[in-house]
Every structure is written in structure tokens, then in C-alpha cells.
């Protein structure tokens, strides 16, 4: 008897699930998009992306406002979003009541870089090269000087082979070190690559130039710089120095 009841309950449960599936399928086939919600995730209030521009981009693929859920080209819509150079992640899904949800994560610029022809780009912490935007200017570390950036096609990253003969990987490595140190991040507002391919740092305050040289023993150089800064600020200040040279092994040479 108990076995018969269990089998009967299993049959009822299976039929209920099948019925629900048929109901949702039929309803979904008739249901049109009732609302569209676009969520953009980033660390700042404003950024490169905004909901109006994303909505317009989606509508170049399909008129989502009047589309049936079953007719939505989800894969094509997501592919289109990923073609935007500022998009790191994108996911589109629907609800049974006709909701269309678009979740996006925006790439975070680490530095703003200008090549020797003064053409500008952003570079993210992952090395993605991003174009400048007319709608938004990120407050990030500036890098300029004798920098060669080959012409871009589509999405590019500093680790692509086309950039092997450039200084972009070194620039990114140095920028990460500075941004990862709260004290130095507050002190340094510009990196300059001179004609000898040596790095110079321009401080936020003061008129001195910090000569870093190459990136050998970079951690030691930056530790020495931080210690020197803290000591100089406690004593006589930094304005008395014209240059602070970190190129020499284990020492700092200052010129007035």
C-alpha cells in the first residue's frame, strides 16, 4: 500500500512539473518585454558607460521594447555589449513576467597615458587599452613622454605581442606599484619616460623631479623614496631640492 502511494505521489509530482513547464513555455511565448533594467557596476558614481547609451546600443541589434521573450537574441545582445571597450563583464537574462535585466561591470582605468604624439589612452589594471571618452574623464595617474603605442584595432592589451617592443608593460608595472602604496599614490601624480627610456616621477607638491631610472630593484627604490619623503617632510621640506636621484644602488642623491 505504501509503495502504491509513493508511486502515485511521484506521478502527480511529475505531471505538476510538466504542467508548469508547459504553462511557462506557452506564457513565455506570448509575453513581451515589460520592463528593462540596466545595472552598471563600478567604483565611482559616474563612468564611461550610462544606461541611455547602453539601451541605444541594445536597440541597434533588436527593438527590445516590443520583442517577445522567446524572440530575444540574448547571445547577440551580449556579444554587442562586449564589443564596447569599456565593458569587462555583461550578462542578460529575463523573468517570466517580461522583465529584461542587463548587468554590466565597467573596466577600471589605472592610468591615463599620452604617447609622444600626445594621443591619449587609458590602461586598466589588467592591461586593457581603452580610448579616451568625451563623456567622462577619470582622475588617475598620468603617464607621458617618449612612449610608442602602435595603431590599435579592436580590443587591445599591453600583453599582446604587438606591444612587446614598447615600454607599456614596464609602465603598467610601475603604475601598479605606485597605486598600491597609499603614501606614494598621494605624492606622485605623473610618470615621465624620457628619451633615454628612463623613468622620472613628478610629485603632487613641489618642483623637484624624481629620477627613478630603470625598474631594476624597483621595490627598494620606492621604499627608499618613501622613507626619504617622510624624513624630509619632518625636517626641512622638499622644496630645497631640484632633483632626487634613485638610480644609484642603495642611496639617494639630491641636487639643489
Q: Read off the pLDDT of residues 99-142 as tens digits, 9 standing for 90 and up.
A: 889 999 999 999 999 988 888 999 999 999 999 999 899 999 99
Check residues 85 and 62 and name the one with the higher pLDDT. Answer: 85
Instruction: Confirm whether 31-106 and 109-255 share one CATH topology.
Output: no
* CA dist., res. 88 & res. 81, Å (int): 9
- For 204-223, how does the pLDDT look when each residue is reduced to its tens digit (9 = 90+)? 877 889 999 999 999 999 99
Grid coordinates representing 125 are 589594471
- For 82-100, how does the pLDDT look when each residue is reduced to its tens digit (9 = 90+)? 999 999 999 998 888 888 8
Q: Average model confidence (pLDDT) for the chain?
A: 85
pLDDT band at 58 (very low <50, low <70, confident <90, very high): confident
Contacts of 234 (CB under 8 A, 6+ apart): none
For the chain, the domains span 31-106, 109-255
* CA dist., res. 197 & res. 174, Å (int): 13
CATH of domain 109-255: 3.40.50.11690
- Please report which residue ranges of the chain form alpha helices under DSSP H: 2-30, 51-61, 74-82, 168-179, 182-187, 218-234
pLDDT at 236 over 70: no
Check residues 19 and 232 and name the one with the higher pLDDT. Answer: 232
pLDDT at 234 over 70: no
pLDDT number for residue 33 = 84
pTM value > 0.75: yes
* CA dist., res. 243 & res. 229, Å (int): 13
Domain 31-106 belongs in CATH node 3.10.20.310:
yes
pLDDT at 240 over 90: no
Q: What are phi and psi of 177, to 5 degrees?
A: -65, -45
Residue 105: C-alpha distances to residues 47, 49, 91, 109, 117 (Å): 11, 10, 9, 13, 31
Amino acid at each position: 500500500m505504501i509503495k502504491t502511494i509513493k508511486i502515485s505521489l511521484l506521478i502527480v509530482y511529475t505531471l505538476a512539473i510538466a504542467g508548469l513547464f508547459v504553462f511557462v513555455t506557452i506564457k513565455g511565448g506570448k509575453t513581451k518585454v515589460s520592463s528593462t533594467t540596466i545595472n552598471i557596476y563600478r567604483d565611482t558614481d559616474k563612468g564611461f558607460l550610462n544606461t541611455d547609451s547602453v539601451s541605444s546600443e541594445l536597440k541597434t541589434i533588436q527593438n527590445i521594447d516590443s520583442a517577445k521573450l522567446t524572440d530575444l537574441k540574448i547571445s547577440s545582445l551580449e556579444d554587442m555589449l562586449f564589443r564596447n571597450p569599456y565593458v569587462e563583464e555583461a550578462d542578460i537574462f529575463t523573468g517570466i513576467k517580461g522583465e529584461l535585466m542587463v548587468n554590466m561591470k565597467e573596466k577600471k582605468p589605472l592610468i591615463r597615458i599620452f604617447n609622444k604624439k600626445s594621443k591619449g589612452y587609458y590602461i586598466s589594471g589588467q592591461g586593457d587599452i581603452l580610448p579616451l571618452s568625451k563623456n567622462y574623464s577619470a582622475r588617475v595617474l598620468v603617464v607621458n613622454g617618449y612612449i610608442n603605442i602602435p595603431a590599435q584595432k579592436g580590443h587591445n592589451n599591453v600583453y599582446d605581442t604587438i606591444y612587446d617592443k614598447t615600454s607599456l608593460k614596464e609602465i603598467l608595472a610601475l603604475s601598479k606599484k605606485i597605486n598600491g602604496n597609499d603614501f606614494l599614490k598621494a605624492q606622485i601624480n605623473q610618470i615621465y619616460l624620457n628619451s633615454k627610456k628612463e623613468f622620472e616621477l613628478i610629485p603632487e607638491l613641489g618642483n623637484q623631479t624624481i629620477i627613478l631610472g630603470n625598474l631594476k630593484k624597483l621595490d627598494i627604490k620606492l621604499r627608499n623614496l618613501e622613507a626619504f619623503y617622510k624624513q624630509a617632510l619632518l625636517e626641512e621640506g622638499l622644496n630645497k631640492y631640484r632633483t632626487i636621484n634613485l638610480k644609484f644602488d642603495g642611496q639617494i642623491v639630491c641636487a639643489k
